[in-house]
Amino acid sequence: MDLFFNLAINGLATGMLIFLLASGLTLIFGLMDVLNFAHGGLFAWGAFSGVWVYDLTGSFTIGVLGAIVTGLLLGVLTEWLIIKPVYGNHVQQILITLGFMLVLSEMLKVVFGPNPIAAEPPAGLEGSFQLGDVILIKYRLFIILIGALVYAITFFILKKTRVGLIVRAGVMDKEMVQSLGINIRFVFMLVFMAGSALAALGGILLAPYSGVIYAEMGMEFAILAFIVVVIGGMGSFTGSLFAAILVGLAQAFMAYYVPSLSLAVNMLLMAAVLIFRPQGLFSLKGGA
Amino acid sequence: MMTTLLKLEGIETYIDQFHILHDVGFEVPKGEVTVLLGRNGAGKTTTLRTIMGLNPATQGSVTFNGKDITKLPPYKVAKEGIGYVPEDQGIFGDLTVGENMRVAMQKEDDSTHERMEWVLNLFPDLKTFWNKPGGQLSGGQKQMLAIARAYMNESELLLIDEPSKGLAPIVVEKVMESIQEMKEKTTIVLVEQNFLMASRIGDRFYILDDGQTVHQGQMNELEKDESLKKKYLGIA
């Protein structure tokens, strides 16, 4: 039983990290109809800039804030310079964002050096609790907590505020939202910034979890995030949470019981969803 | 004296490579219902979309309340006081009726609450189904919601595209009665294929044919002109 709990906690923590990346991606796709392959680059930049600030200040909290600010700034720049000229053209979006993803990865090597960088949890989050036979690693619980908190806050914003209402309406019908007097481009920008900040937050949280960060990590996680968006339903925020947890758990259990299938399991899950429910598990197109 | 609220002059509109509107021009007097008539594909919907800035004109001008709005983006056109009810109603299906209405509310003050009260009295079904998702309403209720929502957006002019389309005759009757009541509050440009309905609530008409305005006049004149009706509207 303790093994089951440990694997479940591990899977949940991984799922929450993927969720942070995928939630922004699903909103950006749902609202803006933009396929942003550079999203993983923002995740990696969040990790590197956050760890750098963490090393510099000795405070993990300031490191997290540093990552979020990096995400916001890169989000504005990406939307303005890269995405804006290719709105409405998926082929151009794929090409330019994939290209920008490579630029972001290479720029990480230029700024932080080509070697992987080690990262450790802050002192308060090191170690574990023992609950009977079950060992609960503090940092993993922390990631699950932050993921749940981000979900709750974002869900509240989407469901209970006017901005959230506009975002949900925009996911369904952008043209109509504009016709009701709302500057959808400004909303696009806000969502893009928020999505980028969530990706960067995921990046800095991953650093102490995996113990090492490297420039190519963005692409690896971006693929996982796209799988999650497809499984959860494009544009569905809740869908991305469930799908991310599903992917995280499947990966954790498969890695233990059938290691040879641990990488393929995500693709198999996505293929099954595409065959039996192509609109995703949560097909509602309301962004929440 | 008649005050012109909306004026289109020499409008040319393209959608992709297709030249849809050729030199469209008309005037909408304040407080009246102006009906755009014409066969399918005549350019009626594109005219409304051009006014809203959704398919911007490449030439010509759209003047609203004396201000040139030709090049404004749709959200600024709406803020000028033009409400739009598209052919497909544009209901946000996963949002409740109340949320659909709230999206359109630019502010929450006394005048907004007065508007809300008035429009909910006009469409009591909306009050009944306030917490129901818009996507689950009947066709007629969706149409009512679309009109009410456009009115909530502080609109001085409503552009309504084929409100009777796909509705049962009894529901069409109800929707048209509501539009007639809305005449008291706002100016209306109505695109309508149902000539009987259009003639009941319209004050003046413009006929569009192949992307051009080919005839105009008072609605009661058109009712008597059988040859015009036959030629452009296919009504024998």
- pLDDT tens digit string along A207-233? 999 999 999 998 888 888 889 999 998
Instruction: Give the model's pLDDT for residue B232.
Output: 65
Distance from the A230 Cα atom to the nearest Cα atom in chain B, whole angstroms: 20
pLDDT reported for residue B236: 61
Asked whether the predicted pLDDT for residue A276 surpasses 80, the reply is yes
Q: Which of A171, A180, A237, A285 is best to mutate for the B interface (most B CBs within 10 A)?
A: A180
Low-confidence ranges of chain B (pLDDT < 70): 1, 232, 234-236
Band of residue A286 on the pLDDT scale cut at 50, 70, 90: very low
Residue A185, pLDDT > 80, answer yes
Boundaries of domain holding B202 = 4-233
Burial pattern A248-275, b for ≥16 Cβ within 10 A else e, equals: bbbbbbbbeeeeeebeebbeebbeebee
Q: Where are the domains of chain A?
A: 23-215
- Residue A56 burial (CB < 10 Å; 0-12/13-18/19+)? exposed
Which of B:37-96 have CB within 8 Å of A?
A: 52, 54, 73-75, 78-79, 84, 86, 90, 92-95
**Domain total for chain B?**
1
Helices (H) and strands (E) in chain A, counts: 11, 4
C-alpha distances in Å from residue A39, one per residue of A59, A82, A279: 26, 12, 22
* Distance separating alpha carbons of residues B34 and B31, to the nearest angstrom: 10
Instruction: Write down the pLDDT at residue A288.
Output: 57
Contact A43, A218 (CB under 8 A): yes
Residue A143's pLDDT is 93
* Mean pLDDT, range A267-274, rounded to an integer: 92
Asked if the C-beta of A286 comes within 8 angstroms of chain B's C-beta atoms, the answer is yes
Say whether pLDDT at A285 is over 70: no
Residue whose entry in the numeric block shows the structure tokens 């991984």:
A14
d(CA B152, CA B146): 10
Total residue length of chain A: 288
Question: What residues contact A242, with CB distance under 8 A and at least 6 apart?
Answer: A232, A281, A282
The arithmetic mean of pLDDT across residues A174-180, rounded, is: 94
DSSP B133: B
Mean pLDDT of chain A: 90
By DSSP bridging, strand B59-64 and strand B4-15 are: antiparallel
Per-residue pLDDT, A4: 87
User: Is A172 in Cβ contact with B75 (below 8 Å)?
Assistant: no
Question: Residue B155's domain is classified under what CATH number?
Answer: 3.40.50.300
- CB nearest A180 (choices: B78, B94, B99): B78
Amino acid at residue number B20: I
| Cβ distance of B90 and A175 shorter than 8 Å | yes
Average pLDDT of the residues in A171-178: 90
B234 to chain A, minimum CA–CA distance in Å? Answer: 32
- Calpha distance B128→B40 (Å, rounded): 35
Determine contact, residues B100/B149, Cβ cutoff 8 Å: yes
Give A-chain residues touching B54 at CB under 8 angstroms: 175, 178-179
Instruction: Measure the CA–CA gap between B4 and B191, rounded to whole angstroms.
Output: 19
